[in-house]
Structure 1
């Protein structure tokens, strides 16, 4: 947590808003999506979904295949604890909704379903999209799958298992969005990234959650930024957003959201 606090102070000094962005593509994204203040109807559903999770005191046994939680290492946790401590925040879920709607993503891959707060937001943004979401913990996966059914989210395919094994056996296709929100370890993150760049097209977007989770996650982010296929990146502190647009000049942005 100390590492994150120091990095956040550095981020504040380096970051800018839309006035410091000179790329038309990124400027439009920041002003029309990141800073969009409209109160979308879907926001009520996103908030209600998380509220329901926060009120659920069902206990489950958690199997952490990744780095786990900064808050607790206990294997038995309540749904409400998971939603509060490791679930996607309402602010980020709303931003993910706006991003999904702005780019109209059709084929989405998510590494790390957890309780499905982010998945739910992406599903609402484009009900016609096809979302493949992978969760490593069997009990969380089973709970979330049932919750999706209760909310009639029919465009989500939830797969349980190790990310590496499932990624290698995915039906060959391209993804418009890949949301990396599971294993917060450097080697694993870079391995997933290298494997999944093969599924990227010119307009694909990769989002990496918690790039300042630890020193090694920041190192992974710095390595990703230097990849020859990557052109534009946006550091929002909590997310690292990656673009592969060949028509863009290679540039890295640090933007407050």
Structure 2
């Protein structure tokens, strides 16, 4: 916790808003998407999806393949408490919806479904998109699938799998066919080793307009180190650090630029 407080204070000191940004691409993203304060009808659906989970007092046995939980001491967890403490916040879900709506990605990959709070925002952001969401825990994935069906999210394909195995299967398919993701939301394993492994395995799926979003880039010193390596990768052109999330863009025509933005 002390590490995150220090990181956040450092972030506040270095961050800026749209008035300190000279990139037309980033300025447009901030003013038309990040800082869009208008109410959206989809927000009510996201809120109801969340409320439904918060009312669910059932327990499930969670299989945790990631860096572990800072909240839960046991793998037997109540669905309502998972939604309250481990899921994306209401504010972040609305931002994820706006980002998806702004870029209109056709093929979306989410790494780490949990109970689908972020999944619902991705699916609503572009109802015409094909959303693939990956979850390692069968019981969690089952609860999410029931929830997605309840709210008629028909553009989501939920897959129970080990993440790295799925990415290696993509590598095999790429030998004979093209496979691109327009937006990837990384929220499955908050360790440096796994984050960098996923980054490298998925690089063959990018194109010029691909958007990657990494969750919890300041979760630990390891995650900050991973974020620094990602920023410096030669294929990465523009990054935006919003403290909670790190946005990565591969726009070949742009000069390399890094932004620290209050969002």
TM class by shorter chain equals over 0.9
Aligned twin of 1:132 = 132
SS in 1 for 2:259: strand
Counterpart-to-counterpart distance in 1, 2:145 and 2:23: 40
Counterpart-to-counterpart distance in 1, 2:41 and 2:222: 39
Spell out the pairing of 1:181-220 with structure 2 (5 A cutoff): 181-220=187-226
Aligned twin of 2:5 = 5
Query: Aligned-pair RMSD on alpha carbons?
Result: 0.8
Matched, 1:226 2:220: no
Counterpart-to-counterpart distance in 2, 1:70 and 1:46: 25
SS in 2 for 1:245: coil
Q: Cα deviations across residues 198-245 of structure 1 (Å, max 9, x unaligned)?
A: 100000000000001111011000000000000000000000000000
Counterpart-to-counterpart distance in 2, 1:168 and 1:178: 16
Cα shift at 1:13 = 0.2
Cα shift at 1:248 = 1.1
TM-score, normalised to structure 1's length? 0.99
Q: Cα deviations across residues 91-137 of structure 1 (Å, max 9, x unaligned)?
A: 11100000000000110001000000111011111111001100011
SS in 2 for 1:201: coil
Aligned twin of 1:50 = 50
Aligned twin of 1:98 = 98
Aligned twin of 1:113 = 113
Show structure 1 runs of 5+ residues with no match.
Answer: none
Show structure 2 runs of 5+ residues with no match.
Answer: none
Aligned twin of 1:143 = 143
Aligned twin of 1:167 = 167
SS in 2 for 1:43: helix
Counterpart-to-counterpart distance in 2, 1:158 and 1:3: 34
Cα shift at 1:73 = 2.5
Aligned twin of 1:158 = 158
Aligned twin of 1:20 = 20
Counterpart-to-counterpart distance in 2, 1:248 and 1:46: 35
Counterpart-to-counterpart distance in 1, 2:68 and 2:33: 31
Counterpart-to-counterpart distance in 1, 2:70 and 2:91: 20
